[in-house]
Homo-oligomer: A and B are copies of this chain.
Amino acid sequence: AAVFNSISPAEFFYRNRHMAGFGNATLAVYSTVRELVENSLDACEDSGRLPFIIVDLVDESHDFVSVTVADNGTGIPYQHVSESFGKMLFGSKYDTRQKRGTFGLGATMAVLYGQITTEHAVEVHTQTGTSGGHAYRLLIDIEHNVPIVESDSTLDRDGPGTTVTIHIKGDLKRAQDRILEYLRMTTIVTPHAKVLLRINRIATATLGRWTEQLPSVPVVSKPHPRAADLEMLKRLIAENKQKSVRSILVESFQQVGDHTAARLLRHAALDSRKVGWSLSREEISRLSAALKSFDGFARPDGSCLSPVGRDSFLTSVKSVFPVSFCSYGRRGPSEWEGNPFVVEGVLASGDSVDESDVPVLYRFANKVPLLYDASDDVFMKVLKKIDWSKYCVRGARQVYVFVHLSSTRIPYRAAGKQSIALVPEIEAEALTLLRGLARELGKSARELGHRGRSVKK
């Protein structure tokens, strides 16, 4: 007879670690650095300080690598450290604000991979603004998805922040170049960060700080009505049982005033005075259908987002790449299934290294560089839709395209955060953005051509 049982989220991601970016030794080192650096940058931005991150990679014997990431961020409150690193689907980023982190998995995946490939526990040193320093050594009980604290002591630190050290089996030599590229790309979309990379204790690269301008701080915004599936409506109604469905709509959602609420309720054939708890599933379903199909909403509120911004993005691209022409564009805020988003882009051109008639594409999502799995990505699809030969002087200049998606939810294809799914609204905005940037490139190429010709005469 069949044996039925349930597995914990940690057991699921242990068995399917391929999906989370921990499928092989090279990718595991890269993913460990990525997950820790992204946590550090989220924490630095929450602290309001200019981020300073130190990444230490040390080659140990027999294909073992130790990865240490230190930051000057908020630190982790004492009582949450063990679960932050020893429990899957746990974290502080589950609200609707743009952040790099979103799943509650990353740090714990790195701990899990380190624990199944080496005998070392993870070491976390942390201090918040309101506490002294703490040092922890942690493991994860995979079957039960709970942390195992090996040691927990106080520690003297020189200020708030977090330092995490994880030992993993990995191929540092192979992962090294990708890690450097990842850190360099990180400063493109996080130009106010300074990142120091040390390999085997030798300073290999100092990247950034390209600007001291802090990015805007995203604030939690009300959900957009287009996100209202039956589950979300059920939860909002449960929190406002006594209220009328009209006031639930106006108070819970953004872009819904009295007038719009009246129209929506007429559309759903619902009496606006009906109280929350009296709505049947069938009525909630009609309300969800009305919200999803209504196309009269104003643009979504972009205050939950934090794009890079024109000045910072142009500055960082010019600081990292040898470019002479550089142009910025931005679309949105729009929404996909009720998730507000903005797409920004920089198109730059510089002297050509090798002949290429398609621009080099660099993709970013919520300030995370996406370096793998480009073929199925929505931005790659958009890049290929454009006939670049119309806009570029072939072969004369190398063209770079940087595209950054900011959203309260990124439609990643897998938990390893490398590729964005083909969402029509995102694809449409990105296409308009890139076409606009391509036209500017074409205009500048013609002007350059004119100037070139006038000089040659």
Point out residues on A near B: beta carbons under 8 Å.
1-9, 11-12, 14-16, 18-19, 23-24, 46, 62, 74, 77, 80, 83-84, 87, 89-92, 94-95, 103-104, 115-119, 142, 169, 229-232, 280-282, 284-285, 288-289, 373, 375-376, 409, 411-415, 419, 421, 423
CB pair A421–B115 under 8 Å, yes or no, is: no
- Give, as a whole number of angstroms, the nearest-CB distance from A129 to chain B: 10
CB pair A415–B119 under 8 Å, yes or no, is: no
CA distance A118 to B80 in the complex (A): 38
Which B residues are CB-close (under 8 A) to A280? 119
CB pair A95–B3 under 8 Å, yes or no, is: yes
CB pair B285–A2 under 8 Å, yes or no, is: no
CB pair A3–B92 under 8 Å, yes or no, is: yes
CA distance A302 to B376 in the complex (A): 34
- Give, as a whole number of angstroms, the nearest-CB distance from A187 to chain B: 25
CB pair A230–B118 under 8 Å, yes or no, is: yes
CB pair A89–B6 under 8 Å, yes or no, is: yes
Closest to A139 in B: B281
Which B residues are CB-close (under 8 A) to A421? 18, 23
Closest to A105 in B: B12
Which B residues are CB-close (under 8 A) to A15? 409
Closest to A93 in B: B2
- Give, as a whole number of angstroms, the nearest-CB distance from A32 to chain B: 16
26 contacts across the A-B interface (CB closer than 8 A): A1-B77, A2-B74, A3-B95, A4-B77, A4-B84, A4-B92, A6-B104, A7-B89, A7-B90, A9-B9, A9-B89, A12-B103, A15-B409, A16-B412, A18-B411, A19-B414, A23-B411, A23-B421, A24-B423, A62-B289, A115-B230, A116-B231, A119-B284, A373-B376, A376-B419, A414-B414
- 3 pairs of A and B residues whose beta carbons are closest in the complex: A2-B92, A119-B281, A119-B285
Report which residue of A15, A91, A117, A231 has the largest number of chain B beta carbons within 10 angstroms of its beta carbon: A231
CA distance A46 to B413 in the complex (A): 32
CB pair A413–B80 under 8 Å, yes or no, is: no
Q: A117-B229, A142-B231, A409-B15 are in contact. Are A94 and B414 (CB under 8 A)?
A: no
CB pair B119–A4 under 8 Å, yes or no, is: no
Q: A409-B15, A413-B19 are in contact. Are A87 and B3 (CB under 8 A)?
A: no
- Give, as a whole number of angstroms, the nearest-CB distance from A107 to chain B: 13
Which B residues are CB-close (under 8 A) to A373? 376, 413
Closest to A409 in B: B15
Q: A77-B2, A413-B414 are in contact. Are A230 and B116 (CB under 8 A)?
A: yes
- Give, as a whole number of angstroms, the nearest-CB distance from A204 to chain B: 28
